[in-house]
Every structure is written in structure tokens, then in C-alpha cells.
């Protein structure tokens, strides 16, 4: 009789074990992620507080919709047509022509491949221009970069290159290329790791 009861107890124990939520219950890992993920939907975590005062615009590129910072308000010499009211040739080729933008030099691709006119249209300065001559809004300057830097552009759309503002919570907001790279001189300088100064430590002792 005792043996029977032990056997019964063991059977119930086994049953309880197999009723627990184990990975085997789901058909695949994707099912598991989807099912378990439901618990996290409807949270009130939002990146809006981090975006704060940054003015943004929404873009959709290759199936990804996200926000990027507005740029025109940040450019000190916008609107360009405040000075560029006539063709560049007229502004440059007269006796009392003024020099401007002395602080801007192109240190980017070599000068055979790139000059000011690669990205700026002397006859319509308030817009950037694509390699084929189409107007590109200053707020969407990533469309210039993507013509030549396809790898980084693809990565950026998915969130692998560049940086999100306020993490991955909705609405997703990301820095745009010109937030980190100066288009005229886009290289990021290499940084050396800060060194641990053993001398300073000794002096403090």
C-alpha cells in the first residue's frame, strides 16, 4: 500500500514539473519571444522625455520610420539666399567681390571627386543637391551621404551606425549624419584611451 502512495505522489510531482513554463512549451524561440513579450506591451516608457526640446522631423527610409533632429534652425548662415540672391558667378567675378566662408575647407574626398558644387547648387543655395542635380532639403542631408556611403546608410537606418536619442523605446529618434560628422571635414579624430597615472596616485598617498 505504501509503495502505491509513493508511486502516486511521484506521478503528481512529475505532472506538476511538466506543467511549469518551460522553453519546450513554445514551438520556436520566436514564438517564445512573442508570447513573453506581450507582458511588456503597453508600458508607459517613452523616449519623448529624452528628446526634450530637440525639434525633430519624421522620416521613412526603407521600411524604417523614425525621427531625426531638424537642421536648418541650427545653421548660422541659413537662409543662404539672404546673400545668395544672384548666381554665384556674379557674386564672385566683380571688382568689389567679397570673400565669404573662409572658415570652410573641404577635407573629405580628394578634390578631383569633390568640391563645393558636388553638394551645393550655386543657383539655388537654399537646398543641397544630389549628384544628378536634384534638390535635397538641408533637413534631409543624409540623402547626400547615402549616395556614396551606402554601408553606413544601411546600418544607420536599422540603428547600427549612429546613435539613438533616448534608447530604443518609441518613438525612435536618431542622430542624423551631420550631427556627428561635419560634411566638409567628416573624419572622426581617433582618441587615445585615458592613461592611469600611477605618479598622481603616489603623490596622493
Q: Which of 104, 181, 172 is nearest to 145 (CA)?
A: 181
**26, 124, 169, 186: which one contacts ligand HEC (CB under 6 A)?**
186
Q: Does 118 bind ligand HEC (CB under 6 A)?
A: yes
Positions in 75-94 near ligand HEC (CB under 6 A): 75-78, 80, 82-84, 88, 91-92
Grid coordinates representing 14?
A: 512529475
Query: What is the SS3 assignment for 154?
Result: helix
Q: In the bound complex, what is the minimum distance in angstroms from residue 196's beta carbon to ligand HEC?
A: 23
Q: Does 113 bind ligand HEC (CB under 6 A)?
A: yes
Quick check: 121 and 115 in contact, CB under 8 A?
no
**67, 144, 165, 173: which one contacts ligand HEC (CB under 6 A)?**
144
DSSP string over 188-203: PPP-PPPPP-HHHHHH
d(CA 191, CA 104): 24
Burial group, residue 32, by CB count within 10 angstroms (0-12, 13-18, 19+): middle
Of the two residues 162 and 166, which places its CB atom closer to ligand HEC in the complex? 162
Contacts for 77 with CB less than 8 Å, ≥ 6 apart? 83, 101
Of the two residues 9 and 158, which places its CB atom closer to ligand HEC in the complex? 158
Q: Does 67 bind ligand HEC (CB under 6 A)?
A: no
Place of cell 536619442: 165
Interface stretch with ligand HEC, choices 27-35, 39-47, 57-65, 176-184 (CB under 6 A): 176-184
**Where does this chain bind ligand HEC (CB under 6 A)?**
71, 75-78, 80, 82-84, 88, 91-92, 97-101, 104, 106, 108-109, 113-114, 116, 118-120, 125, 128, 138, 141-142, 144-145, 147-149, 152-153, 156, 161-163, 175-181, 183-184, 186-188
Amino acid at each position: 500500500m505504501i509503495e502505491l502512495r509513493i508511486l502516486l505522489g511521484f506521478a503528481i510531482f512529475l505532472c506538476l514539473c511538466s506543467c511549469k513554463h518551460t522553453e519546450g512549451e513554445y514551438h520556436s524561440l520566436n514564438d517564445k519571444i512573442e508570447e513573453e513579450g506581450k507582458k511588456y506591451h503597453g508600458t508607459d516608457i517613452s523616449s519623448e522625455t529624452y528628446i526634450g526640446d530637440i525639434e525633430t522631423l519624421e522620416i521613412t527610409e526603407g521600411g524604417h520610420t523614425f525621427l531625426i533632429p531638424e537642421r536648418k534652425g541650427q545653421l548660422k548662415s541659413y537662409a543662404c539666399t539672404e546673400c545668395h540672391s544672384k548666381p554665384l558667378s556674379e557674386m564672385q567675378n566683380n571688382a568689389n567681390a567679397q570673400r565669404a566662408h573662409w572658415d570652410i575647407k573641404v577635407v573629405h574626398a580628394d578634390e578631383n571627386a569633390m568640391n563645393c558644387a558636388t553638394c551645393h547648387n550655386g543657383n539655388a543655395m537654399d537646398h543641397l543637391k544630389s549628384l544628378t542635380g536634384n534638390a535635397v532639403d538641408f533637413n534631409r542631408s543624409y540623402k547626400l551621404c547615402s549616395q556614396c556611403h551606402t554601408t553606413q546608410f544601411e546600418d544607420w537606418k536599422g540603428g547600427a551606425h549612429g546613435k539613438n536619442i533616448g534608447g530604443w523605446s518609441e518613438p525612435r529618434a536618431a542622430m542624423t549624419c551631420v550631427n556627428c560628422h561635419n560634411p566638409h571635414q567628416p573624419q572622426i579624430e581617433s582618441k587615445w584611451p585615458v592613461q592611469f597615472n600611477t605618479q598622481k596616485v603616489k603623490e596622493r598617498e
